[in-house]
Amino acid sequence: MSTEEKAAAAAAEAASGNGKPDVGSTAAEGLSIVARTQGQLVRRRFFRHRGAMISLTILVLVVLLAYTSIGFAGIPGWWIWNYYTPGKVVNRGAPTLSLWPTFLGGDGFAIGLHPFGQDDLGRDYFALTMRGAQISILIAFVVGIVGTLIGVVIGALSGFYRGWVESVLMRFTDVMITIPILVIAAVLGQKFGGAGPLVLAIVLGLVLWTALARLIRGEFLSLREKEFVEAARALGAKPTRIIFRHILPNTVGVITVAATLLVANAILLETALSFLGFGVRAPDTSLGLLVSTYQNAFTTRPWLFWWPGLFIITIALTVNFIGDGLRDAFDPRQNRVRG
Partner 1 sequence: MAPFIIRRLFISFFVLLGATFIVYVLAASAGDPRSALEESTDPGKANRIAAMTRNLSLDVPIIPRYFAWLGGALGCLIGKCDLGNTASGAPVSGGLSVAMGSTLRLVVFALVIAIVVGVSIGMITALRQYSGLDYSVTFLAFLFFSLPVFWIAVLMKQFLAIKFNDWLKAPSIPPWVILASAAVTGLIAAGVVGGDRRRRLAAFGGAAIAVGLLMTYFAVTDWFAEPAIGPVAMVVMSAITAIAATALFAGFRSRVVLYATLVTAAVGVICYFALDSVLADPTILVIIGLLVLALLVGAGIGAAMGGLYRSQAIKACMLTAFGCGGLIFASELLAALPAYSAEVNGVVVATIGATTPNFSGNFWETTLDQLGHLLLPTIAIVLISIAAYTRYTRSSMLEVMNADYIRTARAKGLTERTVVVRHGFRNALIPITTIVALDVGGLIGGAIITETVFGWSGMGKYFNDALKIPDPNAVMGFFLVTGTAIVLFNMVADITYGFLDPRIRLS
- Per CB under 8 A, residues contacting partner 1 are 171-172, 174-176, 178-180, 182-184, 186-188, 190-191, 264, 268, 271-272, 275-278, 288, 291-292, 295, 298-299, 305, 309, 312-313, 316-317, 320-321, 324, 334-338
Q: Using CA atoms, how far apart are residues 307 and 305, in angstroms rounded to an integer?
A: 6
Instruction: Output 147 or 247, the one with its CB closest to partner 1.
Output: 147
Of 248, 160, 261, the C-alpha closest to 212 is 261
For residues 183 and 172, give the distance between their C-alpha atoms in angstroms, rounded to a whole number: 17
Nearer to partner 1, 134 or 292 (CB): 292
Task: Name the minimum Å distance from CB 245 to partner 1.
Answer: 33
Judged by beta carbon, residue 97 or residue 276, the one nearer partner 1 is 276
Query: Crossing angle, helix 303-330 and helix 252-276, to 10 degrees?
Result: 160
- Provide the residue count of the chain: 339
Spatial distance between the Cα atoms of 82 and 125, rounded to a whole number of angstroms: 9
User: Minimal distance in Å, beta carbon 221 to partner 1?
Assistant: 16
Cα gap 230→228, rounded to integer Å: 5
250 to each of 219, 226, 262, 310, 332, how far by Cα in Å? 9, 11, 20, 37, 16
Output the smallest distance, CB 339 to partner 1, in A. 11
| Closer of 42 and 268 to partner 1 (Cβ) | 268
Question: How far apart are alpha carbons 229 and 15 in whole angstroms?
Answer: 35
Comparing CB distances to partner 1, the nearer of 1 and 41 is 1
Nearer to partner 1, 247 or 308 (CB): 308
Measure the CA–CA gap between 208 and 225, rounded to whole angstroms.
Answer: 28
Q: CB 298 → partner 1: shortest distance, Å?
A: 6
Distance CA 181, CA 162 (A): 27
Q: Is the peptide bond before 86 cis (omega within 30 degrees of 0)?
A: no
Amino acid at the residue 129: T
CB of 100 to partner 1, least distance (A): 21
The residue among 113, 62, 61 whose CA lies nearest residue 310 is: 62
CB of 112 to partner 1, least distance (A): 25
Nearer CB in complex with partner 1: 66/316: 316
Shortest reach from residue 226's CB to partner 1, in Å: 21
